[in-house]
Amino acid sequence: MARVQIANARRPEPGETDDPLAERLRVCQMRFASVHSSETQQAGDLREPAKVAIVNFRGPVPDDLPGRIATLLDKEWLVDELFGKPTVAIIVTGGAQAFKMLPRVERVFREGLVKAARATNAWVFTGGTSSGVMKYVGEALASHPDIPCIGMPLFGNVLGHELIEKKACSLDEMRDAKEQMVEYAPTEADNTLLGAALEPHHTHFLLLDNGEAGAKAWGMEIEFGLRTQLAYCAHDKNKDNRVPAVLLVVQGGPGTLKTVVKAVEKGVPVVVIADSGGCASAIRDFLTRAPGAREDIAAAERELAALASELDAAKSALSAATAKAETGAKSGGAREQALSERLAARIAVREAKKRVDRADAILLGLEQKLLKPAELTLGFGKASTVRQLRGIRANERLIELFELSQNATADISQSILSAVALDEKLPPHKMLELAIVWNNLQMIGSILAGGRGRALHGLSLIHISEPTRRTP
């Protein structure tokens, strides 16, 4: 088994950098009782202690913070140098509690995730706790400590966070190799609605400390995590060195849906494990509607769009009438005429708005029928949630649906590679370069022939040679 060491990697000297991030950051190392015991070491598991950073701030996330944390990974923890620069970032999101996979499906998921990470020299990002899909990801990578797995949970909801805070030190102390070691004992068995243990097979943790904790705080870390992950992917000033990201969705609730919406709005391709339930299945059902429903919804969408245009025109007429009433006519009949026109314009806007609301309600009813009862029970039929699903449908070109249970030899890695090809921000020469690195002959041929995106859907992996990961 590979052993990742840091002895030959160079960190900046104390005082060599002047980074405001240092004021918000405390770091430590962590050994997990379940994987770093003397018994596991003697059995040949030479996994290094995990690197941990507490990111402290209050209020909204500062605009520069995600980028600076990306710099921490690159310049301070030297993850690029130790593991090799990734060609893809796989961001896993989904069910955090009470999520169980059937044994056969779990095997397919594990094998596919590892194959994808090795085929692309990927880094894997998760929410970091020992629960739900994050636990499955950690266990999938348990025998592969040379694949970086970076967890990003909310600090206040991490069991044992008091000990972590007590042991953590400053960046300068880290640069002096005085990092404190945390002996971490909590496990999945200790999880409650108020907090969860960290997953022991992750290589790095970024703990978001915004002062919040408890059941109501779950999900606050999701947007911050996605922003930070994408900031890492784009932090190299050379655009040709940008790392493409793929969001992998497994089950999940309304919070996961928000993550998917934000991802596609930023042009990030998404692989949806469509038969995993929850959010993932709701996306599948919303996108893969029957022909009759498709026609009805398309007609309702056209009607809504036409009425929305009428509403915009009515609002423009009201603005003009208001300006005329306030600045044009000053006295007499002209003023009365202007006020009358403004009143008529207001009535027109109100009536147009009613027509739009009625059309939207009709469309909403048709869309809700796409969802299964279980998905409606989970809240995916709410008007606000259906509108988020509409946002995903508007970016359907970025969605790759994949079903684990229907494929005894399912290959998630193939879907992840196909999804990367959907990234419209990647120039063709960069896509070709990645295809060559991945040794995917069919993808290379399709790119050279001018194919891209959906033209690459369903490619088979002819032969994948594992990229060399740098282990000093």
The encoded tokens of residue 40 equal 């596991």
Looking at residue 46, its pLDDT comes to: 58
**What amino acid occupies position 434?**
L
CA distance 179 to 50: 12
Looking at residue 311, its pLDDT comes to: 96
Nearest by Cα to 53 from 80, 78, 22, 82: 22
Measured N-to-C along each axis, helices 254-265 and 220-234 cross at an angle, to the nearest 10 degrees, of: 30
Contact (Cβ atoms closer than 8 angstroms) between residue 342 and residue 318: yes
Contact (Cβ atoms closer than 8 angstroms) between residue 73 and residue 205: no
Q: What is the pLDDT along the chain (472 residues), one digit of tens a residue?
A: 333 333 333 444 444 445 555 567 888 989 998 775 555 444 445 578 899 999 887 766 677 777 778 778 888 888 888 888 888 889 999 887 777 887 877 888 888 899 888 888 889 999 999 998 999 999 999 989 889 999 999 898 899 999 999 888 887 777 665 568 899 998 888 888 888 999 999 999 999 888 887 777 776 677 767 777 777 777 666 666 778 889 999 999 888 999 999 999 988 999 999 988 899 999 999 998 777 788 899 999 999 999 999 999 999 999 999 988 877 655 566 778 888 899 999 999 999 999 999 999 999 999 999 999 989 888 898 999 999 999 999 999 999 998 877 654 457 777 888 888 788 777 777 778 777 877 777 777 777 776 554 444 434 333 333 444 544 3
Which pTM value belongs to this model? 0.82
What three-state secondary structure class fits 192? strand
Distances (CA, A) of 286 to 202, 255, 362, 371, 386: 34, 17, 16, 7, 9
